[in-house]
Amino acid sequence: MSFHLCAGTGPGLLLRLFLVFATVSVVVDGMNLWPMPKSVNYGSQTLYLSKDFKLRTEGSYYADGLGILQDGFSRMVDIVVASRAIGPNVTNSHVLAGIVVEISSSDDTLNFGIDESYKLFIPSTGYPLFGRIEAKTVYGALHGFQTFSQLCHFNFTTRNIELHLAPWIIDDQPRHYQTLTVMKNVIDAMAYTKLNVLHWHIVDTQSFPLEIPSYPKLWNGAYSYSERYTMAEAAEIVLYAQKRGINVLAEIDVPGHAFSWGIGYPSLWPSSDCQQPLDVSNEFTFKVIDGILSDFSKVFKFKFVHLGGDEVDTRCWMTTPHVKKWLDKHGMNESKAYEYFVLRAQNIALSHGYEIVNWEETFNNFGNMLSPKTVVHNWLDVGVAPRVVAAGLRCIVSDQNNWYLDHLSTTWQQFYMNEPLTNITNHEHQKLVIGGEVCMWGETVDGSDIEQTIWPRAAAAAALWTPFDKLAREPRQVTSRLAHFRCLLNQRGVAAGPITGGGRAAPEEPGSCYKQ
C-alpha cells in the first residue's frame, strides 16, 4: 500500500496522500507453515503435483547465470519427493504442472538488507495449471520455494504428492490496510500542514478493498473479509476530508497492478499464467472499469480521477493465445495494445465527467495521443516535467529521489529543497505544473508507525505553499521553525518524529522537543 502526500505550487496547495493496499488474504491460524507468512488466503481444492513438475521463468529479468534459481528449484523438488516412489499422474484437471517464477531484479548480490520478499500464487482452475512466485530478487524466490514445499504432502494410499486447500495466495512481504481512524488522523495532520489533496490509491495488485456496487465480487480481492471499505465508509472519508479543505483523488491503476481484480472475476485475467495486466481483449474488462468509475462518480467528487498506467509489463499478452489472436486481428503489437487500453480507459473516465491523471509512463510511450485533459504524474525522470508542460499538458511532480517518504534515509532538508519547477522557466509552462507530491509507499507502514514516517518530512515539502521568492535558500534557516511545528504536531496528537534524523527517527537523548 502507499501514501502520497502532494503539496502544490502556488497559493492553491495540492497535497496528496496515496494509499496502496496489498495482499488479498485471510490470516490462517493453525496451518502448518513455519514461519507463518504475513498473509495467507486459501481455498478447498486438492491439487496433484505432476511427476514432471516444471520450472518456468518467462517474464523474469533474472538470467540465473550462477544457477541459484535452478538449484533451489531442484532442492525443493527433492525435499518434496523425499526419495519416494511416485505413482502415475492423476488424469484430471487438478494436476499442477509446475511453477512460474518472475524475478524483477537481475542482481544476485547477497548482502545485508537485500529484499527477500515474495508472493506465491497457486490457482485451482485453468489448464495447464501453474503456480507462480513473484519476487524482487532470487533470494525472495528461494523463500517462496520453501513455503511451497510446506504446502505439499505425500499421500501414502495413492502414492501422489498432493497440495491441499488451493487456491493459495501467500504474501511474505509486509503490506497494510489502514483503518478509517488512521486515515482520519493523517487527514487531520494534512490540514494542520495546509496540504489539501488526499490521493487514495485504493486498489492495487495485492488488494481490492473497496466495495463496488456495480461489480460486488471485486472486493473479494481484499486482504481479508474485515479489511475492506464500504462505499459508505469511502463517502465518510471524502466528507471528513472536505470539512478540512482537502479533496480526495481516487486511483484505480490500470491495466497493470490489477491481480486483485481477478480474485472476484477471474475472466479479467488473460489466463491463470497471465494474471496482470488486465485482459485487453475482453470487453468485460472495460465494462468493469466503466462500472467502477460510475460508482466512483457518486462518491469521489474531485474533478480528477487517477487511472495509473505505470509499470505495465505487457509481455504475457503476447504469450496468451486468445489475446495474441485478438491483437493480430486488430493489427496491434503489445505497445499499441497498452496505448489502446489507456486511451479507452481515459475515454470512459471522461464520459463520467472526470479529468484524468496518469503516471508518466503513458506520456513517455504515447504522450501525443493522450487526452488534452490529462495530468501527467511524473515520478521517475527529472527531465519529464519540462517535456510534459512544453507539450501543453499539465503535470504533477513526485521526484522519487527526494520526495518518497518510504525512503527513510531521505532527510527533511531534501524534501524542503526539492523544487518542481526546476528547468521550467517559461511562465506559462510553470502554470501547468499543478502540484508536487511527496509519496510514501506503504510496504512498511501500518497504524504503529505511519505518522512518524510521514511527519515532519512531508511538512517540509509544504514549503510549496510559500511564494518562491520567500523560500529560504538554505534549510538551516528554517530548522527552528520546522522543529517548532513538529512539536506543535506532537501537541496535537500527531506522532511526528524528530527532525534530527530521517524517516521514522527516534529522539537521540533526553531533552526539549524543540531541540530534537
Looking at residue 271, what DSSP letter applies?
Answer: B
Residue 426, φ and ψ in degrees, nearest 5: -70, 125
Residue found under cell 493523517: 186
- Angle in degrees, CA 54, 56, 61, rounded to 5: 155
DSSP 8-state code for residue 27: P
Q: Is residue 450 within 8 Å of residue 178, measured between CB atoms?
A: yes
Neighbours of 468 (CB within 10 A): 12
Cell readout for 2 is 502507499
Distances (CA, A) of 407 to 65, 199, 359, 509: 31, 19, 20, 24
Spell out a b/e string for 411-446, using b for 16 or more CB atoms within 10 Å of the CB, else e: bbbbbbbbbbbeebeeeebeebbbbbbbbbbbbbbe
Place of cell 473479494: 220
Whether residue 492 contacts residue 193, with contact meaning beta carbons closer than 8 Å, is answered with no
**Amino acid letter for position 441:** W
Exposed (0-12), middle (13-18) or buried (19+): which is 124, by Cβ within 10 Å? buried
Task: Answer whether 159's CB lies under 8 Å from 142's CB.
Answer: no
Query: Element (H or E) spanning 49, and its range?
Result: strand 45-56
Question: Which one of 58, 233, 283, 311 is the catalytic residue?
Answer: 311
Amino acid (one-letter) located at 147: T
Taking the CA atoms of residue 418, residue 358, residue 443 and residue 122 in that order, the dihedral angle to the nearest 10 degrees is -160
**Which secondary structure element, helix H or strand E, spans residue 285, and what is its range?**
helix 283-297
Q: Is 437 a catalytic residue?
A: no
Instruction: Please answer whether residues 1 and 19 qualify as being in contact, where contact means their C-beta atoms are separated by less than 8 angstroms.
Output: yes
Cα torsion for 367, 368, 373, 378, to the nearest 10°? 20
SS3 content of the chain, % helix, strand, coil (to 5): 35, 20, 45
- Any idea which residues carry the catalytic annotation? 311
